[in-house]
Amino acid sequence: MDAVIAAENVRVHFRRGLLGEPIRALDGLSLEVREGDFFALVGQNGAGKSTAMYCFLGLLKPTSGNLRVMGQVPGLGSKLYDRVAYLPEEPHYDLYLTVEEAVRYYVSLYGMRVSVQKIREVLERLGLEPFRDLPLAKCSKGMKQKVGIAQCLVHETRLVFLDEPTRGLDPIVVMLFRDVLREINRRGSTIVMNSHVLSEIEMLSNRVAIIEKGKVIAQDELRNLTRLDQERYAVAFETNGNVPDYLVVEEDQGSRVKGCIPADRLYDFMDFARQACLRVLECSLKKATLEESFVKILKGDGNTAGLK
């Protein structure tokens, strides 16, 4: 598959003020986003997620390193953004425009003419039709985000950048947002999302990069990241007092024990239960969540070898 974004050892260093401490916003970031990916950038506050996104969008020039977006070096207003949409964390739109004018304006910046009917269809779908003449200055954050989505739907973008897209939105809008993003991704668009909401990333993304101190410390398919030596079985059984040493006991009621065993000890546990004639009440695979993997990788005790 083609790399839509290929970043190799990208560094962004700057100073706050002339005498300020040098800041390494990105410090050797390397990652690859493939066509059709729903790619998530994950990291703590200040890890460099937004800076990376600004570099992809040409809003920041890397101090060094190689960066290609759709095979080209990103720059302000570059032609490569012909099929790219960006939804910022804070909807910094032209607030003096009305909802409909804003969608028409942002679509016109792609150098294409779109019929009023098509714009209204999209507004209708997003529930913005009754507010089409409302100035953006008077719209809620959710409505402004919908304006951002509307331009993606009108324009049929192939690469979408989302910076904390659902922050501050109500659950109904978030659900609508997810549905639209899934649809855009299904149609073949690549989506790069930067979010703190790990449960949302688990729901939407197929590939994840974890960024820490301006570097990618892990990058892989979501299913591999959540496996990450953390697959285990939740077991509950009646015991005569003996428990295997690899069992992590979570609940001990004397004759009944509940706990977890590592996935690779399942057969050992079954042998143990058979030999001791124990009644097994529950045995189910328990996958790690992205949150658990994220914390484990950040703490440095995850086996991230081969993930980058």
Partner 1 sequence: MESGRQISAGEQIKGNLQAHFAYYRRSRLLLAFGLVFLILGALFSLPAIFGQSHVKTFAALQNIFGLFNDFLIVFSAALGLFIISSHLRARNLKMVFTKPCPPQLWLGSAFLSAVAASLLLNILILVCAIAVSLVWHMRVQAGLVFVSLSTFAASVGLIGYLMFLAMIMHPVLAAVFALIFNPDIFYGMHVWTQGMITAGTKSAILRGLSHLFHFVYMVLPMVHAFPKETGRIQTALRVEPGQWHYAFYSLGYALALAALCYCLSLFFLERKRLI
Instruction: Considering only residues 142 through 161, tell me which ones interact with partner 1, judged by CB under 8 A.
Output: 158-159, 161
**From the CB of 77, what's the least distance to partner 1, in Å?**
4
Which one among 6, 23, 28, 35 touches partner 1, defined by CB under 8 A? 35
- Total residues binding partner 1 (CB under 8 A): 43
Task: Point out which residues pair with 6 in neighbouring strands.
Answer: 32, 68
Does position 80 bind partner 1 by CB under 8 A?
yes
Cβ-Cβ contacts under 8 Å for 4 (sequence gap 6 or more): 33, 34, 35, 37, 69, 70, 159, 190
Q: What strand order describes the sheet that includes 84-87? A: 84-87, 159-163, 190-194, 38-43, 207-212, 215-221
Which one among 97, 283, 295, 298 touches partner 1, defined by CB under 8 A? 97
Which amino acid appears at position 65 of this protein? G
Query: Where does this chain touch partner 1 (CB under 8 A) — which range of 51-59, 208-216, 224-232, 277-285?
Result: 51-59
Does position 2 bind partner 1 by CB under 8 A?
yes
Which one among 73, 95, 270, 285 touches partner 1, defined by CB under 8 A? 95
Nearer of residues 153 and 218 to partner 1, judged by Cβ:
153
Q: Are 23 and 16 contacting, i.e. CB atoms less than 8 angstroms apart?
A: yes
Query: Where does this chain touch partner 1 (CB under 8 A) — which range of 111-119, 203-211, 245-253, 255-263?
Result: 111-119
Nearer of residues 33 and 290 to partner 1, judged by Cβ:
33
**From the CB of 130, what's the least distance to partner 1, in Å?**
21
Does position 38 bind partner 1 by CB under 8 A?
no
Query: Where does this chain touch partner 1 (CB under 8 A) — which range of 84-92, 117-125, 193-201, 216-224?
Result: 84-92
Which one among 17, 113, 241, 305 touches partner 1, defined by CB under 8 A? 113
Which one among 104, 182, 258, 308 touches partner 1, defined by CB under 8 A? 104
What is the C-alpha separation between 293 and 230, in angstroms, rounded? Answer: 8
Does position 71 bind partner 1 by CB under 8 A?
yes
Which one among 29, 40, 42, 57 touches partner 1, defined by CB under 8 A? 57
Does position 73 bind partner 1 by CB under 8 A?
no
Does position 4 bind partner 1 by CB under 8 A?
yes
Does position 25 bind partner 1 by CB under 8 A?
no
Binding residues for partner 1 (CB under 8 A): 2, 4, 35, 50, 54, 57-60, 70-71, 76-84, 86, 88, 92-97, 101, 104-113, 135, 158-159, 161
